Amino acid sequence: MKDNFLYTKHKPERVFLVGVNIFSKQNSNNSNNLSLLKSLEELEDLAKGVGANVIGKLTQNLKKPTPFYLGIGKIDTLKKIVKDSDIETIICDDELHPSQQRNLEKKIGRNIKIIDRTALILDVFASRAKSREGKLQVSLAQHEYLLPRLIRQWTHLERLGGGIGTRGPGETQIETDRRLIRRKIHSLKAEINTIESRRDLSRRQRKDANLRVITLIGYTNAGKSTLFNRLTGEKAIAKNQYFVTLDPLTRKIRLPSGKFVLVTDTVGFIHKLPPSIIAAFKSTIEEINQSSILLYVNDISHNESDKHKTEVEKIIKSLNLDKIRKIYVENKIDKMKSSTKTALEEVSNTINTLSTEDLPTVFVSAKSGANISSLIETIDSILTSTP
């Protein structure tokens, strides 16, 4: 089952990226093309994060989805690129339906590995998971992803020409493997539930101690872990990589008013993050659900900053967590185009106009520490004014 994912322990796999944009009258403007290009840049970063050698990219605008993911003409182009450039793996920028993956494999050739964005994200997760709980959650998501795609492992039987002696044993083996995977899924869920029971106990103890929880959420690589370290004095790993933090990390801090609160760092969100992956990380969702305040950490220096913020808000709403009090934290002001001094002056002049009582916004640099005191005071003020 390994060949559904990207494994790069030896020489880097030669990878080619493919993305499509479904056009309609409502979204036929240039901004969607930009989104596709940015999405492929993100996909490239993810692939490089697990050691892939990205050779190139191919995009296509379509009026509607196709059974092959791409149009027939583009598939011919892709086949030539694969042959001429010695491509080993094709990564599609969307989650493929199992039938789309099979159809594309038949067109391109069975010796070429074809995976989708979901499989790649799961592979990144697998490479980042450190705790027992994190590894279990990733394994659960991988097995649930593989189950409807199991037929891929047995398509080699078609090369025998079908007929007597081929179809029956193949189907039997597939059903056997499906039972094994379902059994593994059941086992993983049971083990995760045991760990979650211990987390539930910790949450009850926090509640009994009247400890409020402040949770950092945001797009991956927005600087959440750096901000967490700045607020708590912790030394959690903070790198310029996607999904450095998979396991919720919680530390206690004291606010200026004397109150003690808990600050929690969580896994980042990303464009086209499938609900199945989010569901696998129940512990993160539960941590967010127990929060008194959510810190929406956003990389203000990123040219897709607004879209990242929208993506996070969409995911939070889908999880029914959008009613929790929030503070917008516009991070990385030190990376704004103007000099740091000028940027800070701009920020200080705009804070009052951009903030409201219901939606406070604080501009900070978690890296330099600029305006962190303002953020802490805002948190303290909200908690003091609410029971």
| Range among 29-38, 48-57, 228-237, 262-271 with highest mean pLDDT value | 48-57
pLDDT beyond 90 at 266: no
Q: How many residues does the chain have?
A: 387
- Range of weakest confidence among 2-6, 120-124, 186-190, 279-283: 2-6
User: What are 313-323's pLDDT values in tens digits?
Assistant: 988 888 888 89
Task: Give the distance from CA 318 to its chain's centroid.
Answer: 15
User: What are 129-154's pLDDT values in tens digits?
Assistant: 888 888 898 899 999 998 888 765 44
- Strands across the sheet containing 14-22: 53-62, 14-22, 89-92, 113-116
Please state, in angstroms and rounded to a whole number, the distance separating the CA atoms of residues 124 and 48. Answer: 10
pTM here?
0.81
- E-assigned strand segments in 223-275: 249-254, 260-265
Tell me the mean pLDDT in the region 288-301: 92
Query: 355 vs 155, which has greater pLDDT?
Result: 355
List the one residue out of 86, 60, 90 whose CA is nearest residue 73: 60
pLDDT classification of 244: cutoffs 50, 70, 90 = low
Please state, in angstroms and rounded to a whole number, the distance separating the CA atoms of residues 284 and 42. Answer: 23
Query: 290 vs 58, which has greater pLDDT?
Result: 58
Tell me the mean pLDDT in the region 319-343: 81
Output the DSSP codes for 25-84. Answer: STT-SHHHHHHHHHHHHHHHHHHHHTT-EEEEEEEEEESS--TTSS-HHHHHHHHHHHHH
Query: 165 vs 205, which has greater pLDDT?
Result: 205
pLDDT beyond 90 at 355: no
